[in-house]
């Protein structure tokens, strides 16, 4: 319930196998939603895309020019009599100009859209960042980093194709054949019809193939997701299965899954591919040539058209179908981009933490829970009817078995989530009525999951007070028992975390403590994470943590009973309820849950000190 980013890779990816086969309708509705999402997301780039498309239209027209020029050359030579030399060279010059124009126009079109894409990526990233800055902190603990990663890396890339290439390339794919077709009609309407005669065969075959394809694609994608999950689990778990001598079994299961997937994949794709292979034959260049020359020979014989026209028409007709292929390829990319856009817009629609309309300023550092009830999923209550007051300047320790709601309760003070029932208040003001930045000026936390930024050690420590001097930073670091370690780094306080400052868990912990010491918030939530470091480091962490005590309202999520015996107030949680509250002496006397825990703890400690060797 504290941020569990570090444990993420240990969770095997979930694949929902029991999902009913999605109806075609549902798939289409999904596609429509994606399409709408895409159009909203692309809005800022729209004018540039339009400009790119217009440039490309002219570029496409210029593409046809060489064919026209060759035809004119042919005609000039076949005209009989003395060849008009000047005309020949003018036509050659026209070819050069047309080709140049095409390159310039297409280049300009792509440049415009690429610029637009770069700008759009910035806009989307900024929007994501703005959103993330306002969603509840609790959201970040629930596998959200995967979502953000996918959105900012893969999804933005998928959209890149659409913005930077898609529209312009599709335009080229459509306008080039249209211009060609128009030219064919200028030559002769019969030639024009023959030129596109084979395309219907392809379209019919394609339509047959496309029937039920959306659902089929979905099924196939699920298959791919499943095999990927199997592979991921096999690879991630291989060391475990090996250590239990189960490698053979897991390996066999993997082989079966891989073989089965190969068969299924073949069964999905082969029929589609067969239709596609057959459908593209009629629009292949040789077939188009055959049809054009066949009919052309007849037309010439009837005296309807000239030989030059037939040959020119055949040449132009051969270049038409290529466009269709580009368009159908573009459709796939568009679908992917649409799905990516949907994921990004979903991310951008994450509910934000409501900001108070009329924010109030807390008057003290007293924290109060009043009848608090909370659940993560709306079903299983994690906290029930918790009422508790943390007086100013006192230490309150939360104890209880894992899963009892300690961490959840503590993070509610920092408004990681909003409560379902009751209220959490700071200085007499409900935390929901305190402006976020104001709240975090009052409430700090040091959590188990140490979050260090990819920045210098000094900047990490002075996070809350960017204007702190190096001396102040070092004072805090000294109190947190990390100063000497930082000085031993290659660049001291200028070493960058993750680059040349490679810290152990315990050291990172101490840097985060130094950060809290420097920030000095009036209310501090502290997760007493220990025991994952080595013993020597552990005692230093404890010394460091001790620096945070005193002068503030402290809420400690305690794991070691020995450290909290002198807390002003110990709160024992059990299954989301407060089981007991009191000082150490009171609770031991009360002989309840805490007393039992304490005795168990004492037993260990005593035997350890006595060196006898029996534990209970």
Partner 1 sequence: MIRQLRRVLGPEHQGRYTRFLVWATVYGVLQGLAVSLLVPIARSLAEGDWSGAWRWIGVLAIAVVCCGIAHYIQAMRAFNVALVVLRTMHLNIGDHLVTLPIGWFAGKTGSVAQIASKGTMAAGGAAAHLMTPVVIGIAAPASVTVSMFFFDWRIGLALLVAAPLIALAARAAAGLIARSEHAAHEAAAESSERVIEFARCQPVLRAFGRTSDAGYPPLTEAIATQQKVARRTMVESVLGLALNGVAIQLVFTALVVLAAALALGGDLTGIDLLALLGVATRFVQPVSEIGEFGGALRQIRGELTRIQNIMDTRPLPEPTRPATVTAPGQVEFDHVGFGYEPGTPVLDDLTFTVPPHTMTALVGPSGSGKTTITRLIARFYDVDAGTVRVGGIDVRDQTTEDLMAQLALVFQDVYLFDDTLRGNIRLGRPDAAEAEVDEAARLAGVTEIADRLPNGWDTRVGEAGTALSGGERQRVSVARAILKRAPIVLLDEATAALDPENERFVQRSLQTLREHATLVVIAHKLSTVVNADQIIVLDEHGRIAERGTHDDLLARGGRYAAFWHERSSTRGWRLEAARP
DSSP label at residue 456: B
66 binds partner 1 (CB under 8 A): yes
- Are the CB atoms for 12 and 237 separated by under 8 Å? yes
Identify the sign of the CA torsion 455, 459, 464, 465: negative
Taking CB under 8 A as the binding criterion, the range among 33-41, 71-79, 215-223, 483-491 that sits at the site for partner 1 is 71-79
d(CA 460, CA 498): 12
Q: In whole angstroms, how close is the CB of 15 to partner 1 at the nearest point? A: 8
Give, as ranges, the residues between 129 and 148 that touch partner 1 (CB under 8 A).
129-130, 132-134, 137, 140, 142-145, 148
Of residues 26 and 224, the one with the C-beta less far from partner 1: 224
153 binds partner 1 (CB under 8 A): yes
In the numeric block, the tokens 């990490």 are attached to 460
Taking CB under 8 A as the binding criterion, the range among 28-36, 39-47, 383-391, 608-616 that sits at the site for partner 1 is 608-616
* Token couple for 1: 């319930």
Of residues 254 and 374, the one with the C-beta less far from partner 1: 254
* Dihedrals phi, psi of 60, to nearest 5 degrees: -65, -40
Q: In whole angstroms, how close is the CB of 539 to partner 1 at the nearest point? A: 5
Q: In whole angstroms, how close is the CB of 23 to partner 1 at the nearest point? A: 25
477 binds partner 1 (CB under 8 A): no
Long-range contacts of the stretch 130-135 (C-beta < 8 A, 24+): 131/347, 131/348, 131/350, 131/352, 134/352, 134/353, 134/355, 134/436, 135/350, 135/351, 135/352, 135/353
349 binds partner 1 (CB under 8 A): no
Determine which residue in the list 18, 19, 302, 536 makes contact with partner 1, applying CB under 8 A. Answer: 536
In the numeric block, the tokens 């596998």 are attached to 143
Exposure b/e, 340-354, CB count within 10 A at least 16 = b: bbbbbbebbeeeebe
Q: In whole angstroms, how close is the CB of 363 to partner 1 at the nearest point? A: 20
Site string for partner 1, 236-265 (x = CB under 8 A): xxxxxxxxxxxxxx-x--xx--xx-xx--x
Determine which residue in the list 33, 333, 455, 489 makes contact with partner 1, applying CB under 8 A. Answer: 455
- Are the CB atoms for 516 and 548 separated by under 8 Å? yes
Taking CB under 8 A as the binding criterion, the range among 31-39, 178-186, 290-298, 336-344 that sits at the site for partner 1 is 290-298
Taking CB under 8 A as the binding criterion, the range among 38-46, 65-73, 176-184, 487-495 that sits at the site for partner 1 is 65-73
502 binds partner 1 (CB under 8 A): no
Of residues 28 and 274, the one with the C-beta less far from partner 1: 274
Taking CB under 8 A as the binding criterion, the range among 201-209, 335-343, 383-391, 515-523 that sits at the site for partner 1 is 515-523
Q: In whole angstroms, how close is the CB of 360 to partner 1 at the nearest point? A: 18
Of residues 491 and 560, the one with the C-beta less far from partner 1: 560
d(CA 409, CA 412): 5
Of residues 33 and 464, the one with the C-beta less far from partner 1: 464
Q: In whole angstroms, how close is the CB of 428 to partner 1 at the nearest point? A: 22
Of residues 46 and 441, the one with the C-beta less far from partner 1: 441
Q: Which of 287, 292, 284, 341 is nearest to 312 (CA)?
A: 292
d(CA 569, CA 555): 10
Determine which residue in the list 35, 50, 76, 364 makes contact with partner 1, applying CB under 8 A. Answer: 76
Determine which residue in the list 23, 32, 47, 149 makes contact with partner 1, applying CB under 8 A. Answer: 149
Give, as ranges, the residues between 102 and 131 that touch partner 1 (CB under 8 A).
102-103, 106-107, 110-111, 114-115, 117-119, 121-122, 125-126, 128-130
- Applying CB under 8 A, the site for partner 1 has a residue count of 197
354 binds partner 1 (CB under 8 A): no
Q: In whole angstroms, how close is the CB of 391 to partner 1 at the nearest point? A: 15
- Are the CB atoms for 443 and 435 separated by under 8 Å? no
Taking CB under 8 A as the binding criterion, the range among 42-50, 204-212, 297-305, 367-375 that sits at the site for partner 1 is 297-305
Q: Which of 595, 576, 597, 577 is nearest to 587 (CA)?
A: 595
d(CA 19, CA 356): 41
Q: How far apart are the first and last CA of the chain?
A: 30
68 binds partner 1 (CB under 8 A): no
Give, as ranges, the residues between 298 and 337 that touch partner 1 (CB under 8 A).
300-301, 307-308, 310-312, 314-315, 318-319
DSSP codes joined into one string, 461-510:
HTSS-TT--HHHHHHHHHHTT-HHHHHTSTTGGGPBBTTTB---HHHHHH
Exposure b/e, 69-85, CB count within 10 A at least 16 = b: bbbbbbeeeeeeeeeee
28 binds partner 1 (CB under 8 A): no
Q: Which of 59, 63, 61, 83 is nearest to 73 (CA)?
A: 83
Give, as ranges, the residues between 159 and 218 that touch partner 1 (CB under 8 A).
none
Give, as ranges, the residues between 516 and 535 that touch partner 1 (CB under 8 A).
519, 521, 531-535
Q: In whole angstroms, how close is the CB of 335 to partner 1 at the nearest point? A: 16
Of residues 28 and 596, the one with the C-beta less far from partner 1: 596
Determine which residue in the list 168, 397, 413, 578 makes contact with partner 1, applying CB under 8 A. Answer: 397
Neighbours of 328 (CB within 10 A): 14
d(CA 547, CA 512): 13
Q: Is 615 helix (H, G, I), strand (E, B) or coil?
A: coil
d(CA 570, CA 595): 12
363 binds partner 1 (CB under 8 A): no
Identify the sign of the CA torsion 407, 408, 412, 414: positive
CA–chain centroid gap for 201, Å, is 42
Give, as ranges, the residues between 539 and 578 that touch partner 1 (CB under 8 A).
539, 542-543, 545-550, 554, 556, 559-567, 575
């Amino acid at each position: 319930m504290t941020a569990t980013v570090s444990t993420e890779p240990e969770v095997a990816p979930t694949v929902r196998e029991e999902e009913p086969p999605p109806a075609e309708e549902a798939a289409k509705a999904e596609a429509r939603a994606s399409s709408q999402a895409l159009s909203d997301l692309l809005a800022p780039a729209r004018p540039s895309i339009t400009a790119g498309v217009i440039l490309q239209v002219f570029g496409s027209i210029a593409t046809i020019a060489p064919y026209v020029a060759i035809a004119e050359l042919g005609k000039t030579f076949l005209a009989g009599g003395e060849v008009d030399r000047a005309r020949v060279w003018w036509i050659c010059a026209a070819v050069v100009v047309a080709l140049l124009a095409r390159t310039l126009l297409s280049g300009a079109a792509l440049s415009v859209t690429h610029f637009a894409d770069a700008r759009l990526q910035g806009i989307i990233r900024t929007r994501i960042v703005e959103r993330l800055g306002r969603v509840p902190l609790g959201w970040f603990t629930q596998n959200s980093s995967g979502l953000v990663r996918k959105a900012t890396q893969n999804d933005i890339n998928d959209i890149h194709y659409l913005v930077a290439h898609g529209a312009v390339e599709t335009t080229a794919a459509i306008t080039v054949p249209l211009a060609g077709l128009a030219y064919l009609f200028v030559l002769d309407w019969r030639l024009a019809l023959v030129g596109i005669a084979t395309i219907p065969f392809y379209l019919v075959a394609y339509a047959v193939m496309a029937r039920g394809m959306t659902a089929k694609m979905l099924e196939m994608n699920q298959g791919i997701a499943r095999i990927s999950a199997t592979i991921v689990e096999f690879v991630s778990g291989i060391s475990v299965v090996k250590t239990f001598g189960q490698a053979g079994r897991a390996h066999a299961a993997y082989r079966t899954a891989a073989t089965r997937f190969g068969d299924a994949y073949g069964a999905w794709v082969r029929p589609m591919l067969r239709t596609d292979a057959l459908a593209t034959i009629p629009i292949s260049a040789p077939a188009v040539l055959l049809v054009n020359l066949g009919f052309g020979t007849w037309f010439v014989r009837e005296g309807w058209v000239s030989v030059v026209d037939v040959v020119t028409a055949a040449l132009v007709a051969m270049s038409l179908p290529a466009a269709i292929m580009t368009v159908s390829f573009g459709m796939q990319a568009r679908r992917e981009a649409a799905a990516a856009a949907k994921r990004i817009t979903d991310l951008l629609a994450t509910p934000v933490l409501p900001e108070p309309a009329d924010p109030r300023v807390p008057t003290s550092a007293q924290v109060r829970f009043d009848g608090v009830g909370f659940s993560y999923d709306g079903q299983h209550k994690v906290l029930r009817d918790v009422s508790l007051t943390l007086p100013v300047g006192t230490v309150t320790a939360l104890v209880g078995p894992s899963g009892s709601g300690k961490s959840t309760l503590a993070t509610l003070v920092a408004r990681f989530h909003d409560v379902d029932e009751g209220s959490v208040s700071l200085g007499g003001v409900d935390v929901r009525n305190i402006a976020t930045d104001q709240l975090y000026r009052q409430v700090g936390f040091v959590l188990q999951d140490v979050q260090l930024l990819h920045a210098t050690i000094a900047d990490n420590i002075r996070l809350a007070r960017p204007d702190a001097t190096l001396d102040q930073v070092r004072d805090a670091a000294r109190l947190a028992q990390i100063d000497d370690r930082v000085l031993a780094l290659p660049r001291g306080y200028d070493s960058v975390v993750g680059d040349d400052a490679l810290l152990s868990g315990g050291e990172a912990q101490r840097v985060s403590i130094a950060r809290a010491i420097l920030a000095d918030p009036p209310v501090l939530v502290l997760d007493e994470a220990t025991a994952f470091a080595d013993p020597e480091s552990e005692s230093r962490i404890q010394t460091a943590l001790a620096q945070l005590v005193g002068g503030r309202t402290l809420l400690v999520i305690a794991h070691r009973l020995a450290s909290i015996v002198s807390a002003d107030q110990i709160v024992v949680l059990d299954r989301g309820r407060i089981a007991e509250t009191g000082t150490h002496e009171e609770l031991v006397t009360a002989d309840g849950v805490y007393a039992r825990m304490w005795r168990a703890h004492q037993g260990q400690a005593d035997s350890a000190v006595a060196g006898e060797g029996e534990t209970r």
